[in-house]
Amino acid sequence: MTHLPDHDLIDLALGRLDAPAREHVERSLTRDPDAQRRFRAIRDHLDLYDRLPPPPPPRPFAWIRADLPPRQADARGSSAAPRRPWAWALGSVAAVVVAGLALHLVLPGGNGVDGIGRAGEGLCACRDGDGVLRRHPLLAVGDVLVAREIVEAWLGPRVHLVMDDGTTLELLDETTVRLEKGRAFFEVESGPFLVRTLFGDVRVRGTAFEVAVGQDGLEVRVAAGRVDVAGRTIIAGTGLENGEIVALDGEVGPWFRRPRLGLASGGPVPPGRPVSLEFSLVNPGMLTVELSGPEGVRRALWLEVVDPTGEVHDLPVSPNTFEPTSEARGNGGPLPPQGGYRLGPHERRRLVARFARPFTRRGTYRCRAMYRPEGEPPLLSEIVLVEVR
């Protein structure tokens, strides 16, 4: 006698069986007293939920209408070829939504990948709290992954990542993510991939690297391959060792810190108040700072150098440029009394440019800084310093 599984009895109780299936199940029931008893129990149980009252209605649409942001046309979606979500040419894709799920850490390349399709299937999966490999619905561009615990995920067959607890990652494009905060280790098999952060972009082509975004900056560690960080090239194994760390500061550009105005609220600077700028430089190069405002263009007249211990050194420079020289405290001897300032490899320095003549005219003051690392194309950053009112 065939044992009737519970899901057949459930389907019978819910009226989900078609006529032939219903006949078969009912016929089997007549010969199986145990199944009859189970069916009655299941039916009585499922009937209980008819006693639940209807839920309350949702809030009126006016509540939602007030919060609706203006919709910008999706540029690619409005084209003749509709934009596809994160999809692979070879077929259907499952992507992982990790929000709210407790997942186990799986080391990159280690256990936990059995059963997950790779290239060709475009499968994205994660291991859930029960240790079960799950397939998730397709992630659409714009979806946000929020890791509540350490999470392993695959975005298509090319990109494997491990996200720390508290990491928030948004899909921007088929080859682009935004790392809003937290830490994620990426392994990109081939092809371009871009991680955007508030402090800079990390552009890779087939490599392994880690990106951590905090409140004050961005840290990139290269495990293998080549990583471009906001225009600065960090090559693992070439001049820089594997595990090289570069730290980028500031809210504008990769190495340009928002000026400290000495004001608690950061409001408009009263006329006459000087402005300090801070730069974090990683590699040797030359820094030029100029200020433009209602009075025209003005160059930095002198620099304060803050070494890693926090000690401030005055560094007289030429009216137009300065050249970083020598090592700094913490990495070698004291700073030179004058001249330029040069960084050694892997050295990080914070320079403070103070414009000695205060801003006296009302208007917008901008700061432009050009940093020319040795052997590299120059980097340019420009920000609005203050609005003098």
Partner 1 sequence: MSAPPTPHGEGLDEDQRLMARVREGDREAFALLHDRYGTPVMRFLHGLCQDRTLAEDLTQETFLRAWAAAGRWRPTGKVSTWLFQIAKRRFFTRRAQQRLRREREARAAAERQERSSVASPSMRLEHSEEVERIRRTLLDLSPKLRLVFVLVRLEGQGYRDTAEIAGLKIGTVKSRMAAAEAFLRARLMEE
Residue ranges in contact with partner 1 by CB under 8 A:
5-7, 10, 14, 16, 41-42, 44-46, 48-49, 51-59, 61, 63-65, 67-74, 77, 82-83, 85, 94, 97, 99-102, 128, 134-137, 140-142, 146, 148
Nearest-approach distance from CB 44 to partner 1, in angstroms: 8
Q: Toward partner 1, which CB reaches closer, 141 or 222?
A: 141
Nearest-approach distance from CB 344 to partner 1, in angstroms: 46
d(CA 184, CA 154): 12
Per the CB < 8 A criterion, the answer to whether 233 and 376 are in contact is yes
Q: Toward partner 1, which CB reaches closer, 29 or 286?
A: 29
The gap from C-alpha 258 to its chain's centroid, in whole angstroms, comes to: 21
Exposed/middle/buried for residue 129 (C-beta within 10 Å: 0-12, 13-18, 19+): exposed
Q: Toward partner 1, which CB reaches closer, 1 or 48?
A: 48
Helix axes 19-30, 6-13, angle to 10 degrees: 120
Nearest-approach distance from CB 195 to partner 1, in angstroms: 21
φ and ψ at 153, to 5 degrees? -145, 155
Per the CB < 8 A criterion, the answer to whether 219 and 229 are in contact is no
Nearest-approach distance from CB 150 to partner 1, in angstroms: 14
Strand 349-354: give its sheet, edge to edge.
Answer: 256-260, 276-281, 349-354, 302-306, 312-316
Nearest-approach distance from CB 127 to partner 1, in angstroms: 14
Exposed/middle/buried for residue 50 (C-beta within 10 Å: 0-12, 13-18, 19+): exposed
Nearest-approach distance from CB 36 to partner 1, in angstroms: 16
Q: Toward partner 1, which CB reaches closer, 11 or 304?
A: 11
Nearest-approach distance from CB 136 to partner 1, in angstroms: 5
Q: At 82, is the secondary structure helix, strand, or coil?
A: coil
Q: Toward partner 1, which CB reaches closer, 60 or 310?
A: 60
d(CA 87, CA 93): 6
Nearest to 354 by CA among 303, 287, 306, 293: 303
Q: Toward partner 1, which CB reaches closer, 6 or 26?
A: 6
Q: Toward partner 1, which CB reaches closer, 175 or 326?
A: 175
